[in-house]
Amino acid sequence: MQENNTISNSTSFALASKVKDYFQLIKFTLSFMVVFSTVVSFLIAPYQQKYTRSTLLSVLLLFVAGLLITGAANAINQVLEKDTDAIMKRTSKRPIASGRMSETEGYVFAFITGAIGVVMMWYYFNFSSAMVGLFSLFLYGFIYTPLKKINSISVLIGAIPGALPCLIGWVAATDDFSVGGWILFGIQFIWQFPHFWAIAWLAHQDYTKAGFKLLPADKGPTSFTAIQSIVYSVLMIPVGVLPYAFGISGVISFWIVLACNLWMVYTSIMLYKRMDASSARKVMFSSYFYLMIVFLSLYADKVKV
């Protein structure tokens, strides 16, 4: 009896460890943030009431499909970067980098989850959103990932699949590549530059050790990087006005978004003035809150059609 209990406990532990590895493989926290943009963009868009199912069910289906597609892209990323992940302290314990999971298992998992996610988007929403999702997966997994070791332009390329979830959510709701979807895409596209450069500033030594070229200056965290963060933070201001200008959201969200944009400019300016990790960390955390506040305010203040 005791032996059976030991076997059962061992099996449960192994299963829990495998589930934990899959959560790490899809980078669940990052994937959740990405799918958050997809879902909120879907809710901001008009016409989702055309679906006979409830909005809640639509959101749940979209969340699962988006999580599967994003998770597949992250799995491919970890397979291709297993050697560099093993070098860096913050990624060395990932399942493939540490040897707990084989490359083949990673690829099979990515193929199955990616395929299911794309088919779900097609079946429950529309072909257009499914194809955008597939394109995003391919661009992130097979273009952006290897480009990170070649040139810092990879950040520009990576910002495209990083912002496509907004367009996916909009198209899933409307089956149309209308201006609203591109505006939301633009907000998240430009947001990624100060956000990601702040992360790259803090993780510069690890990234350099792995051979990644992610900062705009070859010499690492310099004033040029801080200036670029300021430039893109300033660009976020006119783009942030567009939802109000095009009648997507109301005047309350206009002021909230403007305040958030000005705060991002301020934190980037302080990074330039101080040139330290503490200021870079403030830019990074501010950018996390920025995205959540901006998208939720746009949804709460959306113009009813």
CATH number of the domain to which 47 belongs? 1.10.357.140
- Residues 34 and 103 reside in one and the same domain: yes
Which amino acid is located at 65 in the chain?
A
How do residues 208-253 score in pLDDT, each as one tens digit? 777 787 777 667 788 888 999 999 999 999 999 999 999 999 999 9
Q: E strands within 161-217?
A: none
Same domain, 131 and 144: yes
Task: Encode 155-193: b = buried (16+ Cβ within 10 Å), e = exposed.
Answer: bebbbbbbbbbbbbbbbbbbeeeeebbbbbbbbbbbbbb
Position of tokens 């009431």?
A: 49
Backbone angles phi, psi at 302, to 5 degrees: -65, 150
pLDDT at 8: 56
Q: What are the structure tokens assigned to 41, written together?
A: 């963009």
Residue 303 has pLDDT above 60, yes or no: yes
Whole-angstrom distance, CA of residue 92 vs CA of residue 83:
9
- Average pLDDT of the chain to the nearest whole number: 89
Region 256-283 average pLDDT = 95
How confident is the model at residue 180, as a pLDDT?
Answer: 95
The pLDDT of residue 193 is: 94
Range of the domain at 299: 178-305
282 phi, psi to nearest 5 deg? -65, -40
Q: Is pLDDT at 132 greater than 70 in this prediction?
A: yes
**pLDDT level of residue 52 (50, 70, 90 thresholds):** low
Provide the pLDDT for residue 10.
60
The confidence score (pLDDT) of residue 260 equals 97
Inside any domain, residue 35: yes
Rounded Cα distance, 212 and 279, in Å: 22
Q: Give the per-residue pLDDT at 103.
A: 93
pLDDT of residue 204: 82
Same domain, 191 and 152: no
pLDDT digits (tens, 9 = 90+) for 170-198: 999 999 999 999 999 999 999 999 999 99
Collapse the DSSP code of 302 into the 3-class scheme (helix H, G, I; strand E, B; otherwise coil) and give the result.
strand
Last residue of a domain, one of 119, 149, 176: 176
pLDDT mean over 46-58:
71
pLDDT value at position 6?
56
How far does CA 93 lie from the centroid of its chain? 21
**Statement: residue 49 has pLDDT above 70:** no
| pLDDT in the model for residue 4 | 55
Query: Is 8 contained in some domain?
Result: no
Our count of domains for the chain comes to 2
For residues 297 and 43, the answer to whether their CB atoms sit within 8 Å is no
Q: Of 151, 176, 201, which marks where a domain is finished?
A: 176
Shared domain for 147 and 185, answered yes or no, is no
Average pLDDT over residues 51-74: 89
- pLDDT of 281 reads 94
Asked whether residue 86 carries a pLDDT value surpassing 90, the answer given is no
pLDDT the model gives residue 60: 94
